[in-house]
């Protein structure tokens, strides 16, 4: 494989070296430069320090579910600008840019599939869509996911990755916290399992609602999980926070989550949990 290509200019002996884009990736934790294909083969995890890179919803589905088993639900629901919100840009402009960037209508992909031949309903957040923020569409799709679970008696798994409620929708986004929490209570009464997987980052109204109301709460290593961010908390209480505060390992130590599971083991762990909770 040719990694470097030399160009010789016609004038004199001046040479330049061009490096193909996207061939290497820098780890955000250990700062190592790693061959991208090696990271992809390792489920988007740094082979040097085990740092878990943020990944797209589609890639998450690809590495988690049985090949070819995923069927998307409600993929065409789009958000509307009910409040006529505008900051530096109109909300409609932000929606359009996010849809073009992520290739999705909103910040979550929902559907059904199988893991090791066990059927489940699945929701996966797309952080690149406005920081995975939860607006009316995200809340509606999650509520529909739980409604299907009740109708078909199928377990639910949601991978969260979000900055919280979407400010451009104001109170309409905050309502989704109550809406999703109420839906969880309904499936709990039906004894239908719900597993939440918290990935980096999971914060704000998502953490304060459905993401932490599951029967089993899993987190990926070193994931940032909390309500307000560490900087905001330090400025509010005027105290230095403990080392590792709001990281998955700290939360596990303090009983806020049930387990930490590496990405390469996530698929089998979910399959085992579904087996234990449904048989």
For 33-47, what is the mean pLDDT?
95
Residue 236 has pLDDT above 60, yes or no: yes
- Residue 4: pLDDT band with limits 50, 70, 90: very low
CATH superfamily of 54-278: 2-enoyl-CoA Hydratase; Chain A, domain 1 (3.90.226.10)
Q: Give the pLDDT confidence score for residue 60 in this predicted structure.
A: 98
Residue 66 has pLDDT above 70, yes or no: yes
Give per-residue pLDDT as tens, 136-164: 999 999 999 999 999 999 999 999 999 99
CA distances (Å), 112 to each of 29, 73, 115, 145, 164, in order?
Answer: 34, 8, 10, 9, 24
For 90-98, what is the mean pLDDT?
97
CA distances (Å), 226 to each of 79, 132, 266, 275, in order?
Answer: 26, 15, 21, 29
For 194-212, what is the mean pLDDT?
97
Residue 3 has pLDDT above 70, yes or no: no
Q: What is the DSSP string of 260-276?
A: E--HHHHHHHHHHHHHH
Phi-psi region of 67 (alpha: psi -120 to 50; beta: other; left: phi over 0): beta
Q: Give the pLDDT confidence score for residue 9 in this predicted structure.
A: 47
Q: Give the pLDDT confidence score for residue 14 in this predicted structure.
A: 53
- Chain mean pLDDT for the chain: 93
Q: Give the pLDDT confidence score for residue 22 in this predicted structure.
A: 78
d(CA 208, CA 189): 21
Q: Give the pLDDT confidence score for residue 15 in this predicted structure.
A: 55
- Residue 279: pLDDT band with limits 50, 70, 90: confident
d(CA 176, CA 143): 9
Judged by DSSP in three states, 83 sits in coil
Give the pairing type, strands 156-162 and 118-125: parallel
* Both structure tokens of 216: 């089993």
Residue 29 has pLDDT above 60, yes or no: yes
Helix (H) or strand (E) holding 26: strand 24-26
Q: What residue spans in the chain does CATH classification 3.90.226.10 cover?
A: 54-278
Q: Which residue has the higher pLDDT, 8 or 22?
A: 22
For 12-16, what is the mean pLDDT?
54
Cα 2 from chain centre? 35
Residue 1 has pLDDT above 80, yes or no: no
For 228-232, what is the mean pLDDT?
87
Look at the block and give the residue holding tokens 């065409």.
Answer: 76
């Amino acid at each position: 494989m040719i990694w470097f290509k030399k160009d010789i200019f016609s004038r004199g002996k001046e040479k330049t070296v061009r490096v193909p884009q996207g061939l290497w990736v820098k780890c955000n934790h250990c700062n190592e430069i790693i061959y991208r294909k090696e990271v992809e083969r390792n489920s988007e995890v740094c082979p040097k320090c085990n740092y878990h890179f943020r990944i797209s919803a589609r890639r998450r589905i690809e590495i988690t579910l049985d090949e070819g088993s995923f069927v998307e639900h409600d993929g065409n629901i789009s958000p509307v600008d009910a409040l006529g919100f505008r900051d530096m840009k109109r909300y409609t402009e932000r929606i359009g840019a996010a849809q073009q960037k992520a290739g999705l209508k909103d910040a979550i992909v929902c559907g059904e599939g199988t893991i090791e031949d066990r059927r489940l309903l699945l929701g996966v957040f797309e952080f690149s869509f406005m920081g995975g923020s939860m607006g009316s569409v995200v809340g509606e799709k999650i509520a529909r996911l739980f409604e299907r679970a009740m109708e078909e008696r199928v377990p639910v798994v949601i991978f969260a990755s979000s900055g919280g409620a979407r400010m451009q929708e104001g109170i309409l986004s905050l309502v989704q916290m109550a809406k999703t929490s109420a839906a969880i209570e309904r499936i709990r009464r039906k004894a239908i399992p719900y597993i939440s997987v918290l990935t980096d980052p999971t914060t704000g109204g998502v953490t304060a609602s459905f993401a932490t109301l599951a029967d089993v709460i899993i987190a990926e290593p070193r994931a940032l999980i909390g309500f307000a961010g560490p900087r905001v908390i330090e400025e509010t209480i005027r105290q230095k926070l403990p080392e590792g505060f709001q990281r998955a390992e700290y939360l596990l130590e303090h009983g806020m989550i049930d387990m930490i599971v590496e990405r390469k083991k996530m698929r089998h762990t979910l399959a085992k949990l579904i087996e234990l909770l449904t048989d």
